[in-house]
Structure 1
């Protein structure tokens, strides 16, 4: 039995960066970041480190980190690890009282569905990496309160860590501009291939993405802080670790919730439909109104909403799945989105990990029907997506869960940064517009990472993109 849990108040901070800066160098440090005080919609920050155990899943779906769990499937192994954290918990509205925190990559979906795996693994992060955490620092921004959740021994240990001085963030810079894996012409050739599949009846919608990469030097925590300032979002997250392969990290600035489960109530919030923010209030209102009136964007959203209704129906109580919001407008720092809300009640014999497995990967970043869409994505995108379009989040001991869709996310490995921009293609999509949308979604991330310094050798207006093929390491 895990030692009894205690909930200790801490000084409240408007953002989690000060707390996490002290913890970020510790083993297994994780940050789930609501983007406050500037991002809309988020409420809780969850920080932790020094997990009791850590599981990684490789590209073949094999589980590493605990020999007793090695023969299980990835989700079964993670559930078995969570079941080890048996503890008495007090009544609390806090979202996390111990459990799993980590990520599940898009590539993990290939272990769940019949996808050939033609795309090359250009980034070799584990397909999933989750830790079992018996403590957390939680900030509730609605109530403006902070809490340390853990045993008495853990509390004393964490308070000692927090009393130390944070290592200052060091400089960060790109050492060359971002380069596109696909040229514009190569992207458009894949766009036309998707259109052919749609006309042939293989699919209704495909989420086609392209990848961009750049070499970097310096501190990834500084890079995350820069991204967070440029595009605060309610489902952000930061994980960085060093192993035999060198430094690896996920820097996610996602605006999209994937799955939340709280006391058996389930919610998912797919995003489909995007416009950039306007340069003036008048232009901004025009772009928002244009998005709300777009039949094409609404059709994309409705297709994915129906797909997710089906996914939730696999594990929710019959008749409980509802759509309280269809194609609602949400505005963020750099874009407007259409967002739907689908809810349900988890069946009595199901747990949140069953829900995650049933709906993974999220339909908003595959297309419809899901399995055929994933097969076409695997055929047309030259490199696997890694953590992009996967999920970051937590599953706690009471059966609560919250996960994001890892869009607007940067993967760091072997001295290079990788990020992706994508969008849903339907029958009446236009190639030039879709290509521009992939850039609109991530240009602000690339520009934030490429803020010039005195030794930059390229023009600022060109920092966001070099439209040439790159040599993948």
Structure 2
């Protein structure tokens, strides 16, 4: 069936999300602008960086929720349960409804949601040591049959659908409702109460850091991504927190999810991720691992000095290269032999609060493989585990006090057309009950300095700390 495309007034995806929050499971994938040192960003590069499109969805036809070992599929008032691989369950919803890709429309229906870091337990056998204080689903995606797509390059906004599950009349009625712009109800102000609670103080971090060094010295691993968790008590509307967060920390792969856990517990995910995990377009695969960080400064001279220090750092380049090699191996599992290439190494990118080194690895999906096979084969992303990946995950479980949950997992979409785009869920807050949590970490290697690595976690959390300060009562 031909794609239905109904024009809407051009506006940011965040504005349209506000119009859809009364529907179940509204979600927003939002782009932001980044700087690429040394050249002006062309339109195709802008799209590749995630800075072109916003995608807004709501009211899924099915909700797929996985808690190991059970996967639930909620359709209207029914719930089907199985112990099948959750990636297989999603694929079974997508493949019978396959459609051709439409140019300039990244998503017109399919699966959209999150794949938590702890979903790795459904792929690999891992120890169970760290505490799980916020036991949210390990996987949560909606199957959506329509989307609002905002194209910032063409300055165009459309309501789109292949009408696989809904009727054309339903889409036309929804279009008319959106054109009328409903009056939004007043929201309860978002507020932070009390002080931030760190699950590792500096001494605790130093102890874990030293243990990582011991494992590296013993030959267990080459690099470990060590993270701390920040938690704070909150009240009010988390959408307001997202709106403030996005003003503080624009990034190319932002996301907001307003969902529930399938058992009646609502929660929200606020992601300001700078990092792409995996993209598939017409069977072309791309990943953009980030390794290497320096803080931004208001003073332009000092800011440039930090940027050049990062660009010239042998240590940070070595960290980046380790992860590039890991990802080349991961995507090579499902890509055509000889197609995996490193297209860029150590590209300096400037974000709101930090400089990063970003590399680009590309390949071509081999015949017989689906985007979900790629996602499963690479999950979780090597840039936020370390190398070798499985041993790194075992060490993370041993040394970090709390399970990561959504942090260092992935948020994104897999469309009926086989396209996929996902972020690494870093710079990501989760609001559940009266608590907001946020993790920040960094790669530790043989020559890492403890004080610098601890400070890097705070640099990465700096915009979250500003958000907390702004909202504190």
TM norm. shorter chain > 0.5: yes
Distance 1:264 1:278 in 2: 40
Structure 1 residue 26 and structure 2 residue 23: aligned? yes
When the two chains are superposed, the root-mean-square deviation of aligned CA atoms in Å is: 1.8
Distance 1:91 1:387 in 2: 31
Distance 1:257 1:117 in 2: 28
Equivalent residue, structure 2, for 1:16 = 13
Equivalent residue, structure 2, for 1:207 = 225
Structure 1 residue 167 and structure 2 residue 182: aligned? no
- Note the alpha carbon deviations across 1:34-77, whole angstroms, 9 max, x for none: 1369997411111010111001001x231012555623111111
Equivalent residue, structure 1, for 2:119 = 108
CA shift, 1:81, in A, is: 1.9
| Change in 2 beyond 3 A, CA 1:91/1:380 | closer
CA shift, 1:200, in A, is: 0.3
Contact 2:101 2:417 in 1 (8 A): no
2:317 to 282, 298, 302: 298
Aligned pairs (5 A) from 1:180-191? 180-191=198-209
Structure 1 residue 75 and structure 2 residue 94: aligned? no
CA shift, 1:90, in A, is: 7.4
TM-score (norm 2): 0.91
Equivalent residue, structure 1, for 2:294 = 275
Contact 1:32 1:45 in 2 (8 A): yes
CA shift, 1:155, in A, is: 2.0
Equivalent residue, structure 2, for 1:464 = none
Q: Between Structure 1 and Structure 2, how many residues are aligned?
A: 449
Structure 1 residue 334 and structure 2 residue 345: aligned? no
* 3-state SS of paired residue (2:127): coil
2:465 to 423, 430, 446: 446
Contact 1:226 1:449 in 2 (8 A): no
2:60 to 51, 56, 80: 51
- Note the alpha carbon deviations across 1:406-437, whole angstroms, 9 max, x for none: 00000111210000010000000011110110
Structure 1 residue 62 and structure 2 residue 81: aligned? no
* 3-state SS of paired residue (1:411): strand
Contact 2:72 2:80 in 1 (8 A): no
CA shift, 1:380, in A, is: 0.6
CA shift, 1:10, in A, is: 1.5
| Change in 2 beyond 3 A, CA 1:452/1:415 | closer
2:334 to 315, 318, 324: 315
CA shift, 1:115, in A, is: 1.0
CA shift, 1:117, in A, is: 2.1
Distance 2:275 2:227 in 1: 17
| Change in 2 beyond 3 A, CA 1:435/1:159 | same
Contact 1:110 1:117 in 2 (8 A): no
Equivalent residue, structure 1, for 2:39 = none
CA shift, 1:319, in A, is: 0.4
Contact 2:14 2:28 in 1 (8 A): no
- Note the alpha carbon deviations across 1:326-354, whole angstroms, 9 max, x for none: 01100011110000000000001111000
Structure 1 residue 132 and structure 2 residue 143: aligned? yes
Distance 1:36 1:431 in 2: 32
TM-score (norm 1): 0.91
* 3-state SS of paired residue (1:450): helix
Equivalent residue, structure 2, for 1:383 = 402
2:239 to 217, 221, 239: 221
* 3-state SS of paired residue (2:220): coil
CA shift, 1:395, in A, is: 0.3
2:108 to 93, 97, 107: 97
Distance 1:90 1:113 in 2: 33
Distance 1:439 1:90 in 2: 42
Return 5+ residue gaps in structure 1 as ranges: 457-473
Equivalent residue, structure 2, for 1:459 = none
Contact 1:69 1:77 in 2 (8 A): no
Equivalent residue, structure 1, for 2:268 = 249
Equivalent residue, structure 2, for 1:177 = 195
- Note the alpha carbon deviations across 1:183-216, whole angstroms, 9 max, x for none: 1101100000000000000000000000010000
CA shift, 1:82, in A, is: 1.8
Distance 2:471 2:30 in 1: 27
Structure 1 residue 6 and structure 2 residue 25: aligned? no
Distance 2:100 2:249 in 1: 36
Aligned pairs (5 A) from 1:289-438? 289-438=308-457
CA shift, 1:161, in A, is: 3.9
